[in-house]
Amino acid sequence: MTATAAVLQRAARLREELERHNYAYYVLDAPTVPDAEYDRLFRELQQLEADHPELVTPDSPTQRVGAAPAAAFGEVVHGVPMLSLANAFSEEDVAAFDRRCREGLGRESIEYAVEPKFDGLAISLTYEEGRFVLGATRGDGYKGEDVTSNLRTIRSLPLRLQGDAPRRLEVRGEVILFRRDFERMNAEQRAAGEKEFVNPRNAAAGSLRQLDPRITARRPLRFLAYAVAEGAGIAADTHSALLDHLARWGLPVAPERRVVHGLDGLLACYRDVGSRREALPYEIDGVVYKVNRLEDQARLGFVSRAPRFALAHKFPAQEALTEVLGIDVSVGRTGAVTPVARLKPVFVGGVTVTNATLHNEDEVRRKDVRIGDTVIVRRAGDVIPEVVAVVQERRSGGEREFVMPQTCPVCGSRVVRGEDEAVARCSGGLFCPAQRKQALLHFAGRHALDIEGLGEKLVDQLVDGAIVHTPADLYKIGLLKLASLARMGEKS
């Protein structure tokens, strides 16, 4: 039976709506509808496509059957790990970094390369015989996703290098959106009646991690290189010289990079870039310092998951005023009962913040945070929202003080606090569903058993449905029981 215009229109609308929900769920980790509503829309589209097979398209949500958008990407093991950088939030942190480098190298003063810290998605590019052959995301630093086809659509990324590039070259860099391109994308979203992107970083990440490269091709993504991971025979003895080579080979690098000497040079550069931050064509959240001489980098080496020769100096977190609507408590893996401020939604540092940690009861008292207060909220390190201070002048007298509950709000067990401890704890242990959930997530995490797909939503179902009580129960779940859970059915 041929599809009518109404059926075609309904199928198109369902695909658009499901893709928006998929993006919120898998990329932003911020579901926009309950699972039941998503499943209802999904089943409706499945039925339409079953009745009219000509409607099925390769990029239809039904062709993914609930898998994360990254599920179709191949895995890439990084030959040279893509490690994170240590962060600095104060001049004292930078001074300590400079001192460690000088002591490690036995020098009075050190030459540093300084670059903007891009706020985008870190990737690795591999070129062989001058041709682009592989592109991967950072992932966990050791394994990433193969996004080669999508990266090929970025016009600023050369598919073939110029000049005397090494036979094999691995370049590290960032996929970003320029401010003007981001604004244009959101104007198009508004004109189409679709949800706007929250910030350039999320828009860049979501655009690159599309299963259909044609979607990525429509997004004005850009690439900027900032390091070489592999490249034998490059005639360079400094990091800045490496970047100059990349530019000659046709790879875009930040024009704001420079070389400075000593601590004073680092701090002067940081202040200068910070003063011009809003005038840059792209968003940055700090500057990166690297010991410039490659030989010195090798001598300093690495510690844990970060290089000793580099540091990310973050700009002060953005702040905003909002109202405390309530103070709830969350229960962690070890039973820690943490006060959390429930806030009137406020846009801070590129995201909408609705909750902020208050750490513990003593911290609530020290800051004198009360329900109904106007407070200053900051995204510490541009990541974790926290209440910085109360705006005392705005108090009306009707604010209410926080009282730590005597019993756990989840399981009803007694909340206890040791004499010398700042943290109150639920005494329920694994009897407490909240502690059980966090224990399972910890057990399945990357640094433990690394169980793929066992995330918060699945753990919620397993615990709330009384299917799993201890980590050992994970090995006893039958296929039928697992398939009965939301988003866990067999693929058709």
The pLDDT value given to residue 210: 85
pLDDT in tens, 12-47: 888 778 767 754 543 334 567 776 677 778 778 888
Q: How many Å apart are CA 359 and CA 424, to the nearest integer?
A: 11
For 433, phi then psi, to 5°, come to -60, -35
With contact defined as beta carbons under 8 Å apart, do 104 and 293 qualify? Answer: no
pLDDT above 70 as % of the chain: 90
Q: Where in the chain is the domain with CATH 3.30.470.30?
A: 77-314
Q: Where in the chain is the domain with CATH 1.10.150.20?
A: 432-483
Residue 227's H or E segment, with its range, is strand 222-230
Q: For the domain 432-483, what is the CATH code?
A: 1.10.150.20
Say if domain 5-67 classifies as CATH 3.20.20.70: no
Tally the C-alpha atoms within 13 A of residue 413's C-alpha that lie toward its C-beta: 20
The pLDDT value given to residue 27: 32
Taking residue 396's Cβ as centre, other Cβ atoms within 10 Å add up to: 8
Give mean pLDDT, residues 458-470.
83
Known catalytic residue at 117: yes
Q: For the domain 319-405, what is the CATH code?
A: 2.40.50.140
The pLDDT value given to residue 373: 96
The pLDDT value given to residue 62: 67
With contact defined as beta carbons under 8 Å apart, do 297 and 291 qualify? Answer: yes
The pLDDT value given to residue 61: 63
**More confident: 340 or 54:** 340
pLDDT at 128 over 80: yes
Q: Where in the chain is the domain with CATH 1.10.287.610?
A: 5-67
pLDDT in tens, 52-101: 888 876 456 664 432 234 446 888 999 999 988 998 988 999 999 999 99
> 456 pLDDT band (50/70/90 cuts)?
confident
With contact defined as beta carbons under 8 Å apart, do 395 and 386 qualify? Answer: no
Give mean pLDDT, residues 419-426.
89
Give mean pLDDT, residues 276-296.
93
Give mean pLDDT, residues 275-294.
92
Six-digit token string for 35: 């699972």
pLDDT in tens, 179-224: 999 999 989 988 888 877 878 888 999 899 888 888 888 899 999 9
The pLDDT value given to residue 468: 83
Most confident of 194-203, 274-283, 323-332: 323-332
Helix-strand-coil split of the chain, %, nearest 5:
35, 25, 35
pLDDT at 301 over 90: yes
**More confident: 446 or 227:** 227
Q: For the domain 77-314, what is the CATH code?
A: 3.30.470.30
- Residue listed under structure tokens 């968003």: 283
The active-site residue, picked from 117, 290, 314, 437, is: 117
Segments in 4-160 forming alpha helices (H): 5-22, 35-51, 91-105, 148-151
Six-digit token string for 47: 């039925």
pLDDT at 357 over 80: yes
Pick from 67, 18, 64: which is nearest to 42 by CA? Answer: 18
The predicted model scores a pTM of 0.60
| CA 388, 393, 399, 404 torsion-angle sign | positive
